[in-house]
Amino acid sequence: MPILALSSFLLGTSTGSRATTADTIYRGGTIITMVGKTPTYAEAVAVTNGKISFVGSIAKAKSFAGAATKVVDLTGKTLLPGFIDGHSHYINSLLVANQCKLYAPPSGPGKDVPSIIAELKRYAAERKVKKGEMIIGYGYDDTVMPGGRLLNRDDLDQAFPNNPVRIDHVSMHGTVLNSLAQKMYGYSAATKTPPGGVIVRKPGTQEPYGLIMETAFLPVIEKQEPMTAAQEIEWSRAGQLLYAQSGITTAQEGATHFAQYETLKRAADAGANIIDIVCYPFITDLEKFKAAVPSNQWTKYANRLKLGGVKITLDGSPQGRTAMFTTPYLLGGPAGEKNWKGEPTFPADLSKKMIKQVYDMKLPLLAHCNGDGAIDLFLQAYEYARAGDYSRPWNVTTIHTQFLRKDQIPKFVKYKVRPSLYTLHTYYFADAHIANRGIDQASYISPMRDVIDAGLHPTNHTDFVVAPLDQMMMLWSAVNRKSRSCLEIGPDQRVTAYEGLKTMTAWAAEQYDEQNRKGTLEVGKLADFVILNQNPLKVAPDEIKDIKVVRTIKEGKTIFPAESNAKVAIPASVANSKKTYSWRREVCDFVNVNNAVGKWWSLSSLNGKYTDAKTPPVLRFEKGRLTIKGGINTLNASYAILDENVILGDIVTTKMAGDPSRMQLERNLAATLKTVDSFKVKGSTMMLLHRGAVVAVFRHPVAK
């Protein structure tokens, strides 16, 4: 966009003092302020010291121009407030920023196997990948490959015989590997498929040939190379550029584990952040965050990074048939279960206590709930936390909220709970939802029209990397609600393009308690802008997805396109550091969970002391209930296991009396179990830990 000569811009300006001299003035295009219920426009916007100093007419904007003011001619393009991410997993962008994007159209080039191979070759040539170097792609979607012709090992071997190649599935729960990558990660014909895993074999052989999914994918996750201190900074900047090129100036890390936060904080402290990052510590890591971050630092930015609240997950995904419903799935459960409605991530009583803990801490809450059963559970937990007192404001957002029932909406209104909806599922996963839930319920997913009409301010999100980071595609899905096969998915829930933009700007700012700083073009707010090549309010609805982001501006500075010579400034102390850091993706450790649950384990040692009981206490984890047979009493508690973390409810015991020493052992075991926060399984041994220290050891099979 050209910069106008000041002499022509100032022509006719009256003399006199000015309250503010602008650094930059934007004019000459469509400027949508996003203020109000209907579109409002301005002719010019002025920026001073990273904030908006004027919004209004060109005539009045001239009084803000000085000798050094840059006047940017938008040349007919459209300027809006910068987009605010409703929900994604920013931490994964650090990985995929250095990988080849292979989403299916319209968000990527991966329409079929030849297209995937061609894009990989282009990527390798552009990056000048050397012989022996690893090539990683992401976003591969096997469900849309024409004619069922799927990517396999031979395709990758033929194209890259001298490089290990790994193509991660769009779900981020699986991959396709070529022969060299299989060898690197330890897969072969001798590799057995673990419980809960998938290994596609070459026809007529046992050789891994195609997708490796779920628990079978864990060796890839576990062997992920750690980052160096310098890479943390470089990859953070690269990941943020993915957001910036989509017009996003505030991104969300929507389920943050403590090791991930440490990476984000080191990068932020080193000055790597070009956009704002908001983290939501995952509930199982909350104690670690509380110990490390003073309460007065939560919800406040430091170097463009802040802890925005706490995240809890109440169920799984509807397409994976792990979301929790009040009625059965039409196709049964993921493992063939009949009358399957899904199950909560945590037992109901634990979910209530965890949500109340966040309320008592006076922190915002993000609650992942997909199925209507999980939404019922959320509402019950919300009511439990507040105990009838709704006087204190509480910023609560339900993430996904896809299968929200119409009769649940009034409670969202009553409690002022914000649903963050996921309209991209009307395109990417509509067929799966129809098969699993039926056409009527599938058509009502993410009912944005009814939610807005009820007076709520929903946000919309991509859940990146599950869906592509494509804000225009997300807006298109809210306005059009069409599937891949052009089937209309709940056309009565369509919204206007302006309403769709509100979910990405003004209402998203409210989600972060930043409506006084972001979301609209008003004097005093941050100069966070996105410039589009067309006006989403004027093009045909079906053309919205084709609109391009031309420029992204953060606090008055252009961050996309990045300057060709722009390099990340890495402090010498970091550049010379030999330290490495690692963290895992948000993937459950299915191997440990599968090995831990459904078995009786006998106590071997407690707090470092071996038990000499002839019949030691035994315990069993199964379906959310912990059962302990102590020898005299039976103890029960609710539990939940996630990512090797253990959340334990109150322990209830029978009131039997017996040998004093045995009763003391039962009491000691119960007291120790209350401190347990994680576990590990190695062969026939299960270790229970508290803050990394082993406090109890159990054996299986049980001692005879």
Which CATH number do you get for residue 190? 3.10.310.70
Same structural domain for residues 24 and 113? Answer: no
Residues 509/526, Cβ–Cβ less than 8 Å: no
pLDDT for 40 equals 97
Same structural domain for residues 484 and 533? Answer: yes
Q: What is the dihedral of CA 618, 621, 626, 628, to 10 degrees?
A: -10
Which of 51, 76, 101 represents a domain boundary (last residue)? 76
Same structural domain for residues 369 and 433? Answer: yes
Find the CATH number of the domain harbouring 604: 2.40.128.270
Which residue has tokens 């972060």?
512
Checking DSSP bridges between strand 529-532 and strand 580-581, what pairing results, if any?
A: unpaired
Residues 670/635, Cβ–Cβ less than 8 Å: yes
pLDDT average, residue stretch 255-260: 91
Asked whether residue 371 carries a pLDDT value surpassing 90, the answer given is: yes
| Banded pLDDT at 216 (limits 50, 70, 90) | confident
Q: If you write DSSP's letter for every residue of 392-421 in order, what string do you get?
A: S---EEEEE-TT--GGGHHHHHHHTPEEEE
pLDDT for 11 equals 43
- Number of structural domains (the chain) is 4
Find the CATH number of the domain harbouring 30: 2.30.40.10
pLDDT average, residue stretch 664-691: 85
pLDDT for 587 equals 43
Q: Dump pLDDT digits (tens) for 290-339.
A: 999 999 999 999 999 999 999 999 988 888 788 899 999 999 887 677 89
- 683 phi and psi, to 5 degrees? 60, -120
Same structural domain for residues 533 and 646? Answer: no
| Banded pLDDT at 9 (limits 50, 70, 90) | low
> Domain range spanning residue 215?
109-222
230-239, 451-460, 502-511: least confidently modelled range: 230-239
Q: How far apart are CA 476 and CA 245, in angstroms?
A: 17
Percent of the chain, pLDDT > 90? 67
Which of 170, 189, 222 represents a domain boundary (last residue)? 222
Same structural domain for residues 514 and 662? Answer: no
Asked whether residue 397 carries a pLDDT value surpassing 70, the answer given is: yes
| Banded pLDDT at 554 (limits 50, 70, 90) | very high
Q: Dump pLDDT digits (tens) for 666-677.
A: 999 999 998 887
pLDDT for 4 equals 56
Strand partners, 621: 626
pLDDT for 16 equals 35
pLDDT for 589 equals 37
| Banded pLDDT at 591 (limits 50, 70, 90) | very low
pLDDT, mean over the chain: 90
Q: Dump pLDDT digits (tens) for 450-487.
A: 999 999 999 999 999 888 999 999 999 999 999 988 99
62 compared with 196, residue with greater pLDDT: 62
Question: Is the residue at 91 inside a domain?
Answer: no
pTM of the model: 0.84
Residues 120/100, Cβ–Cβ less than 8 Å: yes
Same structural domain for residues 50 and 118? Answer: no
Q: How far apart are CA 140 and CA 151, in angstroms?
A: 9
Same structural domain for residues 477 and 609? Answer: no
Which of 541, 574, 607 represents a domain boundary (last residue)? 574
Checking DSSP bridges between strand 609-610 and strand 600-606, what pairing results, if any?
A: antiparallel
